[in-house]
Amino acid sequence: MGAVVGRAAQEVVFVDGVRTPFGRAGSSYAETRADDLVVKVFREVLRRNPALPPERIDDVAVAATTQIGDQGLTIGRTASLLAGLPTSVPGYSVDRMCAGAMTAVTTLSSAIMAGAYDVALAGGVENMSRHPMGEGVDPNPRFIAERLVDIEALNMGMTAENLHDRFPQLTKERADAFAFGSQQKTAHAYAEGWIQPDLVPVAVRSAELGWGLMTADEAPRPSTTMEGLAGLKTPFRPHGRVTAGNSSGLTDGATAAVLASEATADELGLSKKMRMVGFAFAGVEPEVMGVGPVPSTEKALARAGLSISDIDLFEINEAFAVQVLAFLDHFGIADDDPRVNPMGGAIAVGHPLASSGIRLMSYLARDFERDPLARYGITTMCIGLGMGGTVIWENVNYAGSN
């Protein structure tokens, strides 16, 4: 037999990440195609990284939760062609509901780690104006008839109410306070200019209003008060605890990120914003899907040989405030810990489903940039139908002692 030829495992680095401003569903992007939003972020991330020859990209993965219409037709391939990438660059689509972009990143990174790829382009998009959550789905009747899942598992707001039920210490007052903090931190981040560098301006057109230019997120409400939050309706349950104020809004947007092996990044002179340490996904009961980040984080930490005390920064997707609070309580972290979502989160800027995973990563890269003494950070999110996803990252420019 001949010698076995293989390639050594490679380190994966996050080179760069960008996103469109997120728009409220039914507003600025209502007449903009989802694939055109992906084209915008692809072109921008390549423009920002001129040292990357497009033909060196080994694969493209784009996530969308509702894969029909302008979010269908293997959008990873079609958006690549529309963006002007060489026809030699392949592409595919990903669906893991809210963690679509996160899964695009971890799947492509796995190929880089294995030595099959050197450079990859990940993306995520959701135009909820054009494709409301659940459009076109046909759940198998067995889910309900055989009680495989509670019917409430198919309603994300109800799963958040269920989380309040399961953990009575996660009160509405705590959820509102966390939501208020998200709005305040987002306003501060905008005032300091932390968010704007990674936003791609998008020209939009309305048949009624004409042309416009999206340069900032539409959803933030910096004038939010605790009194205002306390008076909001609870749409998922009478006298409930989940409101529009302590949840992420329905939003449209797209994200993109360049990933590379560390050796290739060095060869081409690409930036290295953070290094992937490891990742994990885990399943939980679908009717309390918001607790998913707890087991996925425990799993990722165990595999990396780290503990929660090693993590210096947390970017947790704020699908619902109660979901973040469940995570923080489990790990003994204070509701207002400054390491958690320093630039605010989805309660303020929105959560365009499949695109949000890369938004979390771009935020973490900026967090690392501002805090060179932070060595490890995580991006984590709950996922519909009862899952959680966690990626652990290391600050490439860590300046502390080992």
Which region holds residue 52: left if phi is over 0, alpha if psi is between -120 and 50, else beta?
A: beta
For 225-232, which contacts have Cβ atoms below 8 Å and span 24 or more sequence positions? 225/180, 226/176, 226/177, 226/180, 229/176, 229/179, 229/180, 230/173, 230/176
- The answer to which of 9-13, 47-51, 64-68, 206-210 has the lowest mean pLDDT is 206-210
For the residues 87-105, what does the mean pLDDT come to?
A: 98
Q: Would you call 98 a catalytic residue per the annotation?
A: yes
Tens of pLDDT, residue by residue over 153-205, are 778 888 999 999 999 999 999 999 999 999 999 999 999 999 999 999 999 99
- 3 pLDDT higher than 60: no
Tens of pLDDT, residue by residue over 53-63, are 999 999 999 99
**Per-chain mean pLDDT for the chain:** 95
For the residues 335-344, what does the mean pLDDT come to?
A: 98
What pLDDT sits at residue 5? 59
Tens of pLDDT, residue by residue over 16-38, are 999 999 999 999 999 999 999 99
Burial of 390 (0-12, 13-18, 19+ CB in 10 A): buried
User: Half-sphere exposure of residue 250, counting CA atoms within 13 Å on the CB side?
Assistant: 16
What pLDDT sits at residue 206? 85
What pLDDT sits at residue 355? 98
Closest CA to 253 of 106, 354, 387, 127: 127
Closest CA to 275 of 284, 267, 265: 265
- Whether residue 17 contacts residue 257, with contact meaning beta carbons closer than 8 Å, is answered with yes
What pLDDT sits at residue 316? 98
Residue boundaries of the structural domains of the chain: 149-194+276-392
Q: In DSSP terms, which residues pair with 274 in a beta bridge? A: 14, 395
Closest CA to 14 of 341, 256, 197, 374: 256
- The pLDDT > 70 percentage for the chain reads 98
**At a CB cut-off of 8 Å and minimum separation 6, what does 249 contact?**
24, 25, 219, 350, 351
Tens of pLDDT, residue by residue over 345-380, are 999 999 999 999 999 999 999 999 999 999 999 999
What pLDDT sits at residue 139? 86
- In this structure, the number of other CB atoms found within 10 A of the CB of residue 379 comes to 29
Give CA–CA dist 316/45, Å, rounded.
24
For the residues 80-107, what does the mean pLDDT come to?
A: 98
**At a CB cut-off of 8 Å and minimum separation 6, what does 382 contact?**
98, 289, 290, 291, 292, 293, 317, 319, 323, 388
Q: Of these residues, 98, 164, 239, 330, which one is catalytic?
A: 98
Q: What is the CA radius of gyration of the chain?
A: 20
Q: Of these residues, 131, 164, 188, 351, which one is catalytic?
A: 351
- Whether residue 119 contacts residue 377, with contact meaning beta carbons closer than 8 Å, is answered with no
Angle at 251 between CA 296 and CA 72, to 5 degrees: 80
pTM: 0.96
Give the model's confidence band at 81: pLDDT under 50 very low, under 70 low, under 90 confident, else very high: very high
Q: Are strands 119-127 and 59-63 parallel, antiparallel or unpaired?
A: parallel
- The answer to which of 8-12, 22-26, 82-86, 356-360 has the lowest mean pLDDT is 8-12
Tens of pLDDT, residue by residue over 212-267, are 999 999 999 999 999 999 999 999 999 999 999 999 999 999 999 999 999 999 99
For the residues 70-79, what does the mean pLDDT come to?
A: 96
Q: Would you call 382 a catalytic residue per the annotation?
A: yes
- 51 pLDDT higher than 70: yes
Query: Quick one: fold of 149-194+276-392?
Result: Peroxisomal Thiolase; Chain A, domain 1 (3.40.47)
What pLDDT sits at residue 152? 76
Burial of 199 (0-12, 13-18, 19+ CB in 10 A): buried
Give CA–CA dist 316/381, Å, rounded.
6
Angle at 112 between CA 111 and CA 115, to 5 degrees: 90
Give CA–CA dist 89/86, Å, rounded.
6
The H helix count followed by the E strand count for the chain is 12, 12
- 131 pLDDT higher than 60: yes
